Structure 1
Amino acid sequence: MNERQHTKEKHVWSGRDWLLLGINALIFVVMFVVFNDDLPAEVGTHFNGQGEQDGAMSKSFFWLFNGIVTVALPAVLSFLRAIDPRRQNYKFFNDYYYLTRWAVSLFLQVILLVVIFVNLDYNVPTLHLVLGGLGLLWIVIGNRMGQLRSNFFFGIKTPWALTDEHNWKLTHRLSARLWFIAGIVMFASAWIIPSDWILPVLIICVLISALVPFVYSYMLYTRRGKA
């Protein structure tokens, strides 16, 4: 095996990826063993803007679906590096990429646990917990987003940033600040605002996190074109 092949294989899957997969699977199995018998045949899985249940699925499909989302999805993210045309850039932010997959995994596991508690008739502030969890996730992602190098799967992938390294760097520096601030706002708001305000705060924070970097990236592109 030559050095190039060895590097590629190491890049696709590592011991840390096995650890992430194993712990996610263990958490999921523990929740299944502990709660499966107590859950109803139809499990509520969808909630409206007031936190009221308005959708359900069979218990078997509930476990299957969440097994795929909470266990398989983080594992799939590990393989995306292998098919990214710019996979050589991942070595510059591999620790951050790993941290983000952990953060996403834990968030999904917590949301699954919240849904289970709701179906077991515990008095759970669903919307507040979701907003607070998303706030923490935004903080973790935004805190080090400026470290990202150009790639096709992770980050703010505007067409102008993907074709201009300088545009990519400036866009992600701004995005890092916006995501971090939006995360703080969501996390703090989760514990101090009424339930009716949760959804508007969430939508505003997500839109700002997504749209402002997009517009900024385009502005950088037009300025560079004029120069």
Structure 2
Amino acid sequence: MKQYDFPKELLIILLLLVPMIYLGIIWPHIPEMVGTNYTTDGVPGRIGSKNEVLLLMIFLFLTNFLLYCLFRYIPKTDEMPDHTSGYRRAYFRTRFLIHLYLAVYTSLLIFLIDIGKEFLLERWAFVGVGLLIAVLGFYLGTLKPNNFIGVRTPWTLLSTAVWEETHKMASRLWIIAGVVIMACGFFMQVVAAVFVVIVIAAIISVLPYIYSYRLYNTNQG
């Protein structure tokens, strides 16, 4: 990591940690049993243990952390030449906004727990992540070939046509994944929904890679 990048990376890391620190502070005061999925009449749809709250928060933290690793280490920004400083700044702003969104969103959910307003907790946790994935999916569909962000496989970087087709596919895939993740919050229990989201995360990460490989080799005949 270049020296002038260190303060920026530290800022993003702090955004990752703030919600978990906040949760650690209020954790002793959270009741053992917590009502979730409230109806419009203010009646909890079910009562769960506070360990389920912890599972949801870990899920949100890991989502934030995985996105950090994805955007921090792919591409290797340390190797970007100096003349790309404008792209570097734009790339950092994109990363910063993603992590700021998740930090604020997670902290808001924790605040609602802290004041005893766990209204639709499970639903909103998955809606927030699903919405982010869908927005990123739309963003993928607008990307032009570059060495900084997107589905940067050896085959998309070698062919503009493969880049465009792969990103169209990845865009649709991520948008659908976002909608499915949002639906998980409404129709599934926490543990099952988290498991489904992990599977979805693997699919949307691996499938565009495989697709670009197959498409490139098909085009090459």
CA gap of 1:172–1:89, structure 2 versus 1, over 3 A, is farther
1:212 is the counterpart of 2:210? no
Contact 1:96 1:144 in 2 (8 A): no
Aligned counterpart in structure 1 of residue 188 of structure 2, from 189, 194, 213: 194
Contact 2:137 2:175 in 1 (8 A): yes
Q: Deviations over 1:184-220 (max 9, x none)?
A: 2222x14520315413431343233223212210111
Q: Which has the higher contact order (CA 8 A, sep 6+)?
A: 2
Q: Deviations over 1:102-134 (max 9, x none)?
A: 133211332244356557776465543332111
- CA RMSD in angstroms comes to 4.9
CA gap of 1:90–1:178, structure 2 versus 1, over 3 A, is farther
1:176 is the counterpart of 2:183? no
Q: CA deviation at 1:166?
A: 2.9
Alignment of 1:9-158 (within 5 A): 38=26, 40=28, 53=51, 83-85=78-80, 98-99=93-94, 101-115=96-110, 123=118, 127-146=122-141, 147-152=143-148, 154-158=149-153
Q: For 1:207 and 1:37, how far apart are their aligned partners in 2?
A: 32
CA gap of 1:180–1:101, structure 2 versus 1, over 3 A, is farther
Contact 2:138 2:175 in 1 (8 A): yes
Q: Would you identify which runs of 4 or more consecutive aligned residues in structure 1 move more than 4 Å?
A: 35-39, 86-97, 115-122, 124-127
Q: Which runs of 5+ in 1 are unaligned?
A: 1-11, 42-49, 57-65
Contact 2:184 2:193 in 1 (8 A): yes
Give the TM-score normalised by the residue count of structure 1: 0.55
CA gap of 1:172–1:211, structure 2 versus 1, over 3 A, is same
Aligned counterpart in structure 2 of residue 221 of structure 1, from 210, 213, 216: 216
The one-letter code of the counterpart of 2:159 is D
Corresponding residue SS for 1:149:
coil
Q: Which runs of 5+ in 2 are unaligned?
A: 30-47, 55-60
The one-letter code of the counterpart of 1:192 is F
- Taking only the aligned residue pairs, the percentage that are identical comes to 21
Q: For 2:218 and 2:83, how far apart are their aligned partners in 1?
A: 29
Q: CA deviation at 1:163?
A: 3.3
Q: For 1:199 and 1:107, how far apart are their aligned partners in 2?
A: 17
Q: For 1:149 and 1:90, how far apart are their aligned partners in 2?
A: 17
Contact 1:162 1:168 in 2 (8 A): yes
Give the TM-score normalised by the residue count of structure 2: 0.56
